[in-house]
Chain A
Amino acid sequence: MMRARTLLESAWSRQLLLLAAALAITAALVALAGRSPLAAGQALWNGAFGSAWAFSNLWTKTIPLLVTGLAITVAFRAGFWNIGAEGQFMAGAIVAGSVGTWSHWPTIIHLPLVLVLAALAGAMLAWIPAWLRVSRGALEVISTIMLNFVMLYVLSWLVHGPLQETSGAQPIGNPVASSVALPRLFGGGTTLHAGLAIALSLVLFAHVLLERTETGFRIRMVGASPRACEWAGVPVARTVMRAAAISGGLAGLAGAIEVLGVLGRLFDKVSPGYGFTAIAVALLARLRPLALIPAALLFGALEAGGSRLQQDADVSQVLVLVIQGIVILATLVVGLAARGRE
């Protein structure tokens, strides 16, 4: 009896409960659309676990969600509402799809160069809304979303123009050089690539950064109580800008990893919305870097499974967005329940 109650009151079992609720509401929407929730569930399952390829695809989709999820985590912890991970992801992808195509460079120089430049590109893109907020009081929610749109068209212009493949046949970039292409981990046409190792190291980096360093402490403090920071002499503006830059850098890295590991070149649509899904991932993980791994796997499974929804259950893939929205709302309610007990 006691054990059941502690289980129910533990934060993580509440997360599971809210997931179940989210799935139930989603099933209701599928039924409302006149489709079978069971078939939709089966399609999702098959898309994620139905075959070796599907299972590797699940992990492949988890990588960008993990890294953009880290980006959101660092920003949200600082109270910087970065909704622009999608645009920052594109910035990193553009760097990888351009600098990454240079040939005759040794991997040991080329790969770090691409990754560092991609992180810088993402950081610079996140720095703009942070600066607008700090110096102009402009809501970063609006400015980051505007920058997403700007990047969408910048990317479209680049693949139709300056960065278009040499033959000019398709609106896509040239393939990245073999010196930077991330190797596939398994054979048989499966997609899981060495970017997983980078992603997991980044999780560790973010965990140490947030929990073990002074910068991390300041980031958490600024997020928890900016006013207390002013009293305690913590530079709020500088900390917010630093957190935003780290966040953008991580999202930029995610974009580069996706191009180097999965796409192999720049495309018009490099992301199906990883930067937005990352928000649900990060909130489900309660903004804890290590907890991002299961949360990203879950949404990676939904992303992989979603690819079968249309074909197997005649349900639009955007159903996954509904699950995201409900998960975010449910995390808020769970937080509220926790507040009520204090």
Chain B
Amino acid sequence: MEFGGLLEATIRITVPILLATLGEMIAERSGVLNIGLEGMMLTGAFAAFVGSWLTGDPWIGLALAVVTAMALAAVFSLFVVRWALDPIVTGVAINVLALGATGVLFRALTTDTGTVLVASFPEWPLGNLARIPGIGPALFSQNGVGYAAFALAPLVMVALRFTSPGLLVRAAGENPDAVEAAGGRAAVVRLLATLVGGAFAGAAGAYLSIGYSDTFVENMTAGRGFVALAIVVFARWSPLLAVPAALTFGLAMALQVRLQGHVGPGGGVPYQFFQMLPYVLTLVVLAIVPRGVAGAPAALARPWRRSR
């Protein structure tokens, strides 16, 4: 199995998962458990496809994906932050809604046209680095969103740890009453953090549809949003740890595709076992991360309402 190809596949699968993970971390650090992540990714993927199709410009597709996913995040916040309703039921509804709405609109758009290929993000090779055999094409010949995903990890860490908005986000996740006591508005902080998380999810979706493919497929997220939710736990709410954690899953998924190609039917392990690998890995991760690990925001997923 050639190393370069595997690395390239790993990176491509990792990018959207990493972006979604980072966005979810921001929301969760503010105390909001965004179960609607999967739906926001899927909506982003669809919006990016539509934007790129209508204008021929993938960057407009990206912008549309970000805005649409943020709109969905705003709806989620209205229910979960403003009205303090259950984040799980709300999230399930958002996911079902996104799956249905993108399906209906996608089929309506493409009934007469068949498969539509749209403009995808251009690759930006980094000079000679991209020519390093093996790792060059995989690491240094990505598109803008791919580079951004990896660059955002330390940026999110710095923003959360060393800036005053970051402090507010963390405070809202640990003790929203303290934010209020200090004269801030915990609900507003949570709303904004969820919106930023939605923007990340939208970009993650855009990478799926117009990043490493150039079209939209119904339900193309295929559970990646939920995988990202598990990676947040695995990475212990640390944006820096999110990179190796997401890469682990990316590698598992890339291996799954490869092994499937190498082990023919009738010979050895059935391909379905490789297909279930990422999901089994998620379960294993949930089973080995002990209860109450350091890092989980104290007020995570606790409905909170301002006391008068």
Contact = CB atoms under 8 A, between A and B. Distances in A.
Contacts of B86: 332
B79 A329 contact: yes
Contact of B103 (A30, A279, A318): A318
A328 B85 contact: no
Given A149-B223, A153-B276, A336 B292 contact: no
Interface string A121-161: 00000001000100111110111011101101110110011
B284 to A, nearest CB: 10
A328 B89 contact: yes
Contacts, number: 150
Interface string B88-102: 111111111111110
B105 interface: yes
B226 A315 contact: no
A145 B287 contact: no
Nearest to A283: B89
Contacts of B93: 324-326, 328-329, 332
Interface string A315-342: 1101111111110110011011000000
B279 interface: yes
Interface residues of A, number: 52
A276 interface: yes
A14 interface: no
A230 to B, nearest CB: 16
Given A34-B108, A138-B287, A318-B99, A150 B35 contact: no
Given A141-B35, A146-B279, A149-B223, A329 B273 contact: no
Nearest to A321: B100
Nearest to A314: B111
Given A83-B92, A320-B100, A329-B79, A150 B276 contact: yes
Given A29-B101, A32-B105, A160 B96 contact: no
Interface string A280-299: 10010000000000000000
A136 B107 contact: no
Interface residues on B, range: 35 or more
Contacts of A135: 291
Interface in B67-113: 79, 83, 85-86, 88-101, 103-109, 111
B126 interface: no
A316 B101 CA distance: 10
B270 A33 contact: no
B79 A157 contact: no
B247 to A, nearest CB: 19
Nearest to B289: A136
Contact of B92 (A150, A160, A279, A333): A279
A90 to B, nearest CB: 13
A29 B97 CA distance: 11
Contacts of B109: 33
Contact of A136 (B85, B96, B273, B291): B291
Contact of A157 (B100, B103, B270, B292): B270
Among B93, B99, B270, the one with the most A-chain Cβ atoms within 10 Å of its Cβ is B93
B277 to A, nearest CB: 9
A153 B275 contact: yes
Contacts of A145: 223, 226
Interface of A: 29-30, 32-35, 81, 83, 128, 132, 135-139, 141-143, 145-147, 149-150, 152-154, 156-157, 160-161, 276, 279-280, 283, 314-316, 318-326, 328-329, 332-333, 335-336
30 contacts: A29-B105, A33-B105, A132-B287, A136-B289, A138-B286, A139-B33, A141-B88, A141-B92, A141-B229, A142-B286, A145-B223, A146-B280, A149-B223, A150-B279, A153-B272, A153-B276, A154-B272, A156-B272, A314-B108, A318-B218, A322-B96, A322-B100, A322-B101, A322-B104, A324-B93, A325-B94, A325-B97, A328-B89, A329-B93, A332-B83
